[in-house]
């Protein structure tokens, strides 16, 4: 039986996508060849990446002056690649520090220009999203993290900004509709909501590029990937293929509005139980609760039961529920492909456990 996969990433993928990907890995479209052995310049992969780009554009409603790029190096490489491509030494990038990933992006950006952290919840262990801050018009861009995978907070809406927003959307990309026009650059590692580890999607507005003076190595220059349609060198063929299959699945499922409705329903089901159940409590400000990564801990009185509940989850086919070491307790990641019945199973287990122990 398939496990309930609550992992934060690499994470659950749609069953139909895995089935199709499995077939392609052995015998792609009856060719007698695996997709893994086909040239990235051949007609098969050309069709795949073209479909992936077209689906991405359609699903998020991307205007023509934006490019879709498929890179490698994980979202972590974007922490330096974005400032390297966008920020001159005498220019300033603004950051809102809402978690460990934002913090890492801040550290990397400092090597390329001035960095100003205009808001932060670091001192409060990132338990909320700061909202009152001023965005200086003279900055080059503002960097945000839409969803904080480790702490379980999420931006419900994005600030109005007079400077371009650069956004790390790794852990809630394609989980809800958004207005691409609000952003100058978006990046997301595929392994949270889109596909397997190995590719990072970058969506960049054309006028963001070509403004820095420094030399950019070809592989670290977004323009190389724009010009060569992500095929300057050998791209991560299989991760792009599986991401394309997930994009097909998203479209077939009804698009981002439908996914948002489902994701919200799943998240509220679990948050309701966390709030109702005397054994557990949430860890972040209610208004900033993530609909993708749901963190909860045992109430103090029941702290000794944590390991027992963890074991019970495992025994019931649930994996990936252990909270990040900086928060403790539990984290249920409820990405697009996690079925509602997995959340229902977890909620039922929490109820039964409380009845026995409460």
Ligand X SMILES: *Cc1c(COP(=O)(O)O)cnc(C)c1O
CA distances to 8, 49, 61, 203 from 251, in Å: 23, 16, 12, 19
For ligand X, the closer of residues 9 and 239 by Cβ is 9
Closer to ligand X by Cβ: residue 101 or 141: 101
CA dihedral 252, 255, 261, 266 (to 10 degrees): 60
CB of 358 to ligand X, least distance (A): 34
Binding segment toward ligand X, per CB under 6 A, in 72-80, 90-98, 265-273, 319-327: 72-80
CB of 149 to ligand X, least distance (A): 3
Among the listed residues 140, 172, 192, 266, the single catalytic one is: 192
Is 168 catalytic? The answer is yes
In sequence order, what are the residues at sequence separation of 6 or more whose Cβ sits closer than 8 angstroms to the Cβ of residue 293? 8, 147, 148, 149, 150, 151, 152, 171, 331, 332, 333, 334
Shortest Cβ 106–ligand X spacing (Å): 12
Q: Does 260 bind ligand X (CB under 6 A)?
A: no
Q: Could you say which of 168, 172, 221, 288 is catalytic?
A: 168
Least distance to ligand X from the beta carbon of 200, Å? 6
Q: Provide the minimum distance between the beta carbon of 146 and ligand X in the complex, in angstroms, as a whole number.
A: 8
* 101 part of the active site: yes
Q: Does 121 bind ligand X (CB under 6 A)?
A: no
Judged by CB under 6 A, does residue 101 bind ligand X?
Answer: yes
267-287 burial code (b ≥16 CB/10 A, e <16)? bebbbebbeebebbebbbeee
22 vs 17, 18, 46, 238, CA distance in Å?
A: 8, 6, 20, 11
Q: Of all residues in this chain, which one has the CB nearest to ligand X in the complex?
A: 74
Binding mask 156-175 toward ligand X (x if CB under 6 A, else -) reads ------------x-xx----
Q: What are the start-end ranges of the E strands in the chain? A: 4-5, 66-71, 92-97, 114-120, 141-145, 147-148, 153-154, 165-168, 185-189, 200-205, 280-282, 293-298, 318-319, 330-333
9 forms part of the interface with ligand X (CB under 6 A) = yes
- Distance between CA atoms of 248 and 199, rounded to whole angstroms? 17
Name the one range near ligand X by CB under 6 A: 15-23, 58-66, 71-79, 118-126: 71-79
Which residues belong to the active site? 101, 168, 192
Residues interacting with ligand X, by CB under 6 A?
A: 9, 74-76, 101, 145, 149, 168, 170-171, 189, 192
């Amino acid at each position: 039986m398939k496990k309930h996969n609550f992992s934060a990433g690499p994470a659950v993928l749609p069953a139909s996508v895995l089935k199709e990907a499995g077939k392609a890995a052995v015998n792609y479209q009856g060719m007698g060849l695996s997709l893994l052995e086909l040239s990235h310049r051949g007609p098969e992969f050309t069709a795949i990446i073209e479909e992936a780009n077209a689906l991405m554009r359609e699903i998020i409603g991307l205007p023509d002056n934006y490019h879709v790029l498929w890179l490698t190096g994980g979202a972590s490489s974007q922490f330096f690649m974005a400032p390297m491509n966008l920020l001159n030494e005498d220019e300033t990038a603004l950051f809102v520090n809402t978690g460990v990933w934002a913090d890492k992006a801040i550290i990397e950006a400092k090597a390329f220009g001035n960095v100003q952290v205009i808001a932060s919840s670091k001192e409060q262990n990132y338990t909320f999203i700061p909202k009152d801050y001023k965005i200086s018009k003279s900055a080059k861009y503002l960097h945000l993290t839409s969803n904080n995978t480790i702490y379980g907070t999420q931006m419900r809406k994005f600030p109005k900004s007079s400077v371009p927003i650069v956004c790390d959307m790794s852990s809630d990309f394609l989980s809800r509709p958004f207005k691409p026009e609000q952003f100058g650059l978006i990046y997301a590692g595929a392994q949270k909501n889109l596909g397997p580890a190995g590719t990072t999607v970058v969506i960049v507005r054309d006028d963001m590029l070509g403004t820095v003076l420094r030399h950019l190595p070809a592989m670290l220059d977004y323009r190389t990937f724009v010009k060569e349609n992500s095929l300057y060198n050998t791209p991560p063929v299989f991760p792009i293929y599986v991401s394309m299959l997930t994009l097909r699945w998203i479209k077939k499922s009804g698009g981002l509005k439908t996914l948002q409705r489902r994701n919200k329903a799943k998240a509220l089901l679990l948050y309701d139980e966390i709030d109702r159940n005397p054994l557990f409590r949430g860890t972040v400000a209610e208004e900033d609760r993530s609909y993708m990564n749901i963190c909860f801990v045992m109430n103090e009185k029941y702290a000794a039961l944590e390991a027992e509940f963890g074991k019970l989850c495992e025994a019931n086919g649930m994996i990936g529920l252990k909270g990040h070491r900086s928060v403790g307790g539990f984290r249920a990641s409820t990405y697009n492909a996690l079925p509602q019945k997995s959340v229902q199973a977890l909620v039922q287990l929490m109820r039964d456990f409380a009845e026995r122990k409460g």
